[in-house]
Structure 1
């Protein structure tokens, strides 16, 4: 709370002007102070938590997602309407980078432990294509659009493509795998894609920064390809898998030891996230990708150790009561696992981070920043780039036309894109360009929250009914 609570919060009266290159002028901000105390923040967050908790059943029955309510409150209380609070994404970029980083890590780990295992090429082929092939096509289309339509530098277009291309693991919970072992093909594809494309997007973010002179990519991009693409991707998968498998074996050994050892699964799960991410970043690999595969490996190894049976498709049964370990137990009790016991706690953290960050997102948006450029880019991303890239990426797979069509629409943008934006700003983007990219990114995220949030439940209900 203290990190986001300065005794004087800056409010922005924006009169949007553009320079000769069409970028938002950095001198448009005239500041005036408004006091937002610790007590104000506690009451605001407390009211939102109470409302969300007490109205859980009502919100579940409504044809919209909870993120819409959080964003609407943020817009009402933010600089768009009541001016109660505001956040300048440039001045608060360091804090927002850390906050969004933590939220994405928790969400990626939760997604990882819910993935059907083992990882087989036949089952994972479609989401792998979405995460790498469709991702690359989306970045290329967004970069071309920004270069030819907005006359932005090519490096800025690639950077913006890397920021906006990945689907979000935090805000897309309504279309993601709901529990460990969920076999629904649509939810599996979307969850697996969101888990992997936060790692596959990073090379394009670094390429864009490199073309803008803010990162070393080497002659003809050799350093970028060898380090940021090949090593960073493969290394993250290896590190994450090793960490997850090792923890599963240690936890299983401790629980099977005599005298019996208790394991604090919540802390152990958080510790795995921190260690896997820290190792990946230290070794210059993509930490998001490492944490996702740490969750996958943790779940897979625990099921193997428990002797979980396989279903007709060869997937390990997630119900531990059917495992060899459960049948061998004198009381026939299902064995406890770190992945299952920690998952409930991680989902609570996901909901809390979604509430906080979407609320702050509303405080970063001001309707005066809207322009045909921002809305046009969002429309191009949602209605052209995403569907086209999905159809191309899934060409040759056994996915049906209906499945490709609905997958092409559910490309939710959210907290992950905010993280990449803050990461780029922290790496020295020029202020005018940073303002422009913030306006384009935040507008796209806001429109995504409303468009996808209002269409998710009705479309999914019709898809599954048919």
Structure 2
């Protein structure tokens, strides 16, 4: 009993310290995942002396944690994300991984003087991006990214695990059982991984989503049902040699996109489970490694990480998605956010479990590459996004959003807004915000000032800092929020989108005539601006997409609920304004 309690004490203390350390990590601008890794390493045998070298348990914990993280990521992935970036993400998750591994393996063969199979195995271990790192760092970066860029990166990280696992498994087979590892067996393994993962994920996702819509449970049980259902599909897919990671991610996608009373209120619970999974996984992985081993391979890892970050990943991205309407700056940013995290470390455990010669070297190098990736790339995600112009102006949005479900498919939305100084709402009556026709169905629910509810009468005026709750559909919340935002921030929008607003059905010729634009020979004056954007960006434009007509910039400013362009911003160059 004493031993069991000591285990509980150590694990709880490590988790508690990791959470506290995450606050310091955030203030220093470091990825939170590094805090969990750091605490694990500090508690290890060269720190506080906890000796842990059970790779089977570490692999079990990592697999379970990654399944929970991918399930949570899928729950927050809208079908619209697939419409925006599925094709380029699939190419990145397949050819992009192959190209990265091939280039890095070739480099490592000559740099390390290693056998080409071992060099390729090392490259395959660190060749794929990590969903835990990408989901965590992108969604907590504090910047609003172009939707196409974010969708591409998140989908790539959620879909590329099967290719990475396949490559590692094949290369282990080539080293340990070369006679049995043939091209035919490799292709069969790929078909099984992708095909069965897709089949189980889609079928089980549909089934679980519809079951949740019909079954009546206590509120606290829905999250358990979703988590257990996702893990069940993960295990079944793996048993049939399919990709459990792909399957569990797709289950999350289908469940998360079926809005009903069962799914909407569990996201916070699943978020907590995902954070717990990340913390435990990185703690356990941190316990596995010793700092002296990392330092011993530090020089090699630095060179390998540098080649991966600055050469292999950019070339792989360029050859994979150059043809999908991405600009040079967008390609550069996607290349940079090729984050490595728990997946490479988990893959590095496989050679150790299979008795591969020099497996410990592979593990130490992979671990060091992950740390360098998080330090170099992870800490610079917001900075580089601003530097490359990937950041959109902050969009006014509700302070908080709740849904009250009146039935399985009937809900009432509650949105809260904080009154900013110099906003339209300041010194206005709460009912005045609902006078526009678009907001005629909004209803005041509560006015809160200094943490107390204020009785609203005919003379009530809102003050800066007040929080106001309205019954309002989620689809109208962002537009409604503009009335509560500081009007001076509108200048930031003007600087990005331009001084004028243009309708997408406006003809190019009409615009040219109105503003004195000179059209090139390749520009048809009878075409609408919307058709020009469709030709340039395909059928899925996003806010921030931009074209040039002469020296004039025309930028997608807002989309409607069907993802069609609603408004365009027109930016006139300074020389034209004089």
- The TM-score, its normalising length taken from structure 1, stands at 0.74
Show CA shifts across 1:123-152 (max 9, x none). 311211111111110111122122222232
Partner in structure 1 of residue 70 of structure 2: 108
Corresponding residue pairs, total: 385
Partner in structure 1 of residue 564 of structure 2: none
Consecutive unaligned residues in structure 2, runs of 5 or more: 393-495, 497-578
Partner in structure 2 of residue 27 of structure 1: none
Indicate the SS of the match to 1:201: helix
Show CA shifts across 1:351-396 (max 9, x none). 2232233334443132352243222112111221112211111121
Does residue 1:138 correspond to 2:100, yes or no? yes
Show CA shifts across 1:60-112 (max 9, x none). 555222223333334444456x4533544xxx210110111111111111121
User: Partners in 2 of 1:150 and 1:130 — Cα distance?
Assistant: 27
Does residue 1:346 correspond to 2:270, yes or no? yes
Q: Residue 42 and residue 371 in structure 1: after superposition, are their counterparts in 2 closer, same or farther (change >3 A)?
A: closer
Partner in structure 2 of residue 406 of structure 1: 333
Does residue 1:73 correspond to 2:39, yes or no? yes
User: Partners in 2 of 1:120 and 1:267 — Cα distance?
Assistant: 27
User: Partners in 1 of 2:84 and 2:284 — Cα distance?
Assistant: 41
Does residue 1:383 correspond to 2:310, yes or no? yes
Q: 1:423 aligns with which of 343, 346, 350?
A: 350
Partner in structure 2 of residue 168 of structure 1: 130
Q: Which has the higher strand share?
A: 2
CA shift, 1:177, in A, is 5.0
User: Partners in 2 of 1:284 and 1:138 — Cα distance?
Assistant: 25
Indicate the SS of the match to 1:165: coil
CA shift, 1:297, in A, is 2.4
Does residue 1:228 correspond to 2:185, yes or no? no
Q: Which has the higher helix share?
A: 1
Over the residues paired in the alignment, what is the CA RMSD in angstroms? 3.1
- Residues 73 and 135 in structure 2, CA contact (< 8 A), matched pair in contact too: no
- Residues 175 and 187 in structure 1, CA contact (< 8 A), matched pair in contact too: no
User: Partners in 1 of 2:192 and 2:37 — Cα distance?
Assistant: 38
- The TM-score, its normalising length taken from structure 2, stands at 0.61
User: Partners in 2 of 1:268 and 1:195 — Cα distance?
Assistant: 22
- Residues 33 and 278 in structure 2, CA contact (< 8 A), matched pair in contact too: yes
CA shift, 1:216, in A, is 7.5
Indicate the SS of the match to 1:149: helix
Q: Residue 215 and residue 75 in structure 1: after superposition, are their counterparts in 2 closer, same or farther (change >3 A)?
A: same
Q: Residue 247 and residue 39 in structure 1: after superposition, are their counterparts in 2 closer, same or farther (change >3 A)?
A: closer
Partner in structure 1 of residue 320 of structure 2: 393
- Residues 129 and 339 in structure 2, CA contact (< 8 A), matched pair in contact too: yes
Q: Residue 343 and residue 424 in structure 1: after superposition, are their counterparts in 2 closer, same or farther (change >3 A)?
A: farther
Indicate the SS of the match to 1:280: helix
User: Partners in 2 of 1:109 and 1:183 — Cα distance?
Assistant: 24
Consecutive unaligned residues in structure 1, runs of 5 or more: 8-35, 304-334
